[in-house]
């Protein structure tokens, strides 16, 4: 189900095209059509899967067997599909399981509990994903609380949203990822946790955040297909709760409205970073297309239709958006008819990126910002900066190698 009429869809695409004009790093919503990855089993819906199986002349139940191998047993290697006759394995692998990505390197921090992986996709595009395990006994750097694991994944190679404080935003958009290329990052993390490659014994993925490279709502269909497989129960998917999935957006209003109509209780995060349009136009250039009022209205509507509290992301940038009066303005902007029950503010101390003139707020300034919000009753937390020393923290994913073409 889509929340938009086809006329609205067309207007969405057109307005993004217009928004491209006049930017140093141009805004780009329509991804270049280069290097379309080969179709993978995870890119297909149930009907398309049945069709492929029929074309291969295989019994229908091979579909469920293949899904189980890929999404439940996390086995990409056909040699491991021992419930399928060898001949059929080879044909299925050749047709439905193209190699999607090669690991270029891992960077490890926090006593092994943060791992940033750089992947080279089939066409040479580079993307990064970050696995973070928390609450591992004996590993102090993993933090306190119950044991859990989050994987931060990319939805595009690069990003077209041009936010000047974000490393990915500075490189422009290379292309959209396919559903399989998105899902693959989750599967890899799940496999590493299961196989005890991360300290803390066998584990599983609890949370998935679309906070890596790219603007997920600018690659809507592939993101949704990946999410549907993440939340589907075995054998069709990974069986991870939709409540554990967070889609973070710079504020593509039609995309937020469309997502609200999907009937999927995923968490929406909105990267606001400023309470007033003049400043937000600078920090998030897409604001020139959809203003703060429009973004907040769609976020409130998201809460009403899903019952999911919306996260507001706010990177605290020294002397740019961290003044006490901006905290007051933020509280005013976020106020709903029933107060603040619909929202949660996540403050992120800015992770400075190379060449940026901006840096993180002073701790006492950040504390005052928090205090001002708390006084008004706004639920607020300061996000930790896991993986900072490996450039794996928010906004630092930039894939420093050069793509191969």
Q: Which residues are catalytic?
A: 128, 394
Backbone phi and psi for residue 356, each to the nearest 5 degrees, phi listed first: -85, 145
Residue 349 Cβ, how far from ligand SAH at the closest point, in Å?
7
Q: For residues 96 and 236, what is the distance between their CA atoms, to the nearest angstrom?
A: 15
Select 53 or 247, whichever has its Cβ closest to ligand SAH: 247
Between 165 and 369, CB nearer to ligand SAH: 165
- Asked if 256 interacts with ligand SAH (CB under 6 A), we say no
Contact 163, 398 (CB under 8 A): no
Burial of 139 (0-12, 13-18, 19+ CB in 10 A): middle
- Residue 86 CA from chain centroid, whole number: 37
Q: Does 69 bind ligand SAH (CB under 6 A)?
A: no
Q: Per CB under 6 A, which of residues 212..231 are in contact with ligand SAH? A: 215
H/E run at residue 120: strand 114-121
Q: Which of 66, 101, 157, 350 binds ligand SAH (CB under 6 A)?
A: 350
- Residue 365 CB, nearest approach to ligand SAH (Å): 16
315 binds ligand SAH (CB under 6 A): yes
Q: Which x/- pattern over 274-313 shows residues binding ligand SAH (rule: CB under 6 A)? A: ---------------------------------------x
Cα(392)–Cα(110) distance, integer angstroms: 11
- The residue among 36, 39, 42, 35 whose CA lies nearest residue 180 is 42
Residue 142 interacts with ligand SAH (CB under 6 A)?
Answer: no
Number of residues that bind ligand SAH (CB under 6 A): 18
Is residue 248 involved in binding ligand SAH (CB under 6 A)?
A: yes
**CA atoms of 360 and 349, how far apart (whole Å):** 5
Between residues 206 and 246, which has the closer beta carbon with respect to ligand SAH?
A: 246
Contact status: 348 vs ligand SAH (CB under 6 A): yes
271 binds ligand SAH (CB under 6 A): yes
Within positions 156 to 195, which residues make up the interface with ligand SAH, using CB under 6 A? 161, 163, 165-166
d(CA 396, CA 349): 12
Stretch that binds ligand SAH, among 20-28, 67-75, 98-106, 350-358 (CB under 6 A): 350-358
- In whole angstroms, the minimum distance from the beta carbon of 128 to ligand SAH comes to 11
Quote the CA–CA distance of 78 and 64 in Å, as a whole number: 15
Measured distance CA(324)–CA(320) in Å, rounded: 11
- From residue 189, how far is each of 195, 238, 305, 382, 397 by CA, in Å? 10, 12, 31, 25, 17
**Footprint of ligand SAH (CB under 6 A):** 161, 163, 165-166, 211, 215, 248-250, 271, 313, 315, 348, 350-351, 353, 394-395
């Amino acid at each position: 189900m889509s929340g938009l009429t086809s006329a609205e869809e067309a207007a969405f695409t057109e307005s993004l095209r217009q928004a491209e004009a006049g930017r140093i790093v141009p805004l780009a919503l329509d991804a270049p059509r280069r290097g379309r990855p080969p179709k993978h089993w995870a890119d297909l819906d149930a009907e398309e899967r049945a069709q492929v199986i029929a074309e291969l002349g295989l019994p229908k139940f091979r579909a469920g067997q293949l899904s189980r191998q890929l999404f439940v047993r996390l086995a990409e290697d056909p040699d491991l599909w021992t419930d399928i006759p060898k001949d059929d394995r080879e044909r299925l692998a050749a047709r439905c399981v193209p190699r999607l990505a090669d690991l270029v390197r891992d960077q490890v921090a926090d006593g092994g509990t943060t791992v940033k992986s750089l992947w080279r996709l089939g066409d040479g595009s580079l993307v990064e994903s970050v696995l973070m395990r928390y609450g591992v006994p004996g590993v102090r750097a993993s933090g306190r609380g119950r044991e859990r694991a989050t994987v931060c994944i990319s939805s595009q190679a690069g990003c077209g949203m041009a936010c000047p404080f974000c490393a990915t935003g500075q490189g422009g958009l290379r292309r959209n990822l396919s559903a399989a290329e998105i899902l693959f990052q989750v599967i890899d993390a799940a496999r590493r946790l299961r196989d005890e490659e991360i300290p803390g014994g066998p584990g599983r993925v609890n949370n998935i955040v679309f906070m890596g490279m790219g603007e997920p709502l600018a690659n809507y269909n592939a993101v949704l297909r990946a999410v549907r497989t993440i939340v589907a129960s075995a054998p069709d998917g990974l069986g991870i709760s939709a409540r554990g999935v967070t889609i973070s957006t710079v504020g593509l209003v039609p995309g937020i409205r469309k997502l609200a109509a999907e009937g999927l209780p995923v968490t929406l995060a909105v990267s606001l970073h400023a309470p007033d349009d003049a400043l937000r136009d600078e920090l998030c250039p897409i604001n020139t297309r959809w203003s703060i009022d429009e973004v907040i209205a769609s976020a409130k509507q998201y809460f009403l239709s899903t019952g999911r509290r919306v996260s507001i992301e706010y990177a605290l940038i020294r002397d740019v958006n961290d003044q006490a009066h901006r905290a007051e303005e933020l509280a005013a902007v976020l106020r709903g008819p029933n107060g603040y029950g619909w929202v949660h503010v996540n403050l992120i101390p800015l992770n400075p990126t190379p060449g940026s003139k901006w840096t993180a707020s002073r701790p006492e300034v950040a504390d005052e910002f928090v205090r001002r919000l708390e006084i008004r009753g706004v639920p607020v937390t300061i996000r930790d900066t896991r993986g900072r020393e490996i450039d794996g923290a928010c906004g630092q994913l930039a894939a420093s190698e050069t793509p191969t073409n």
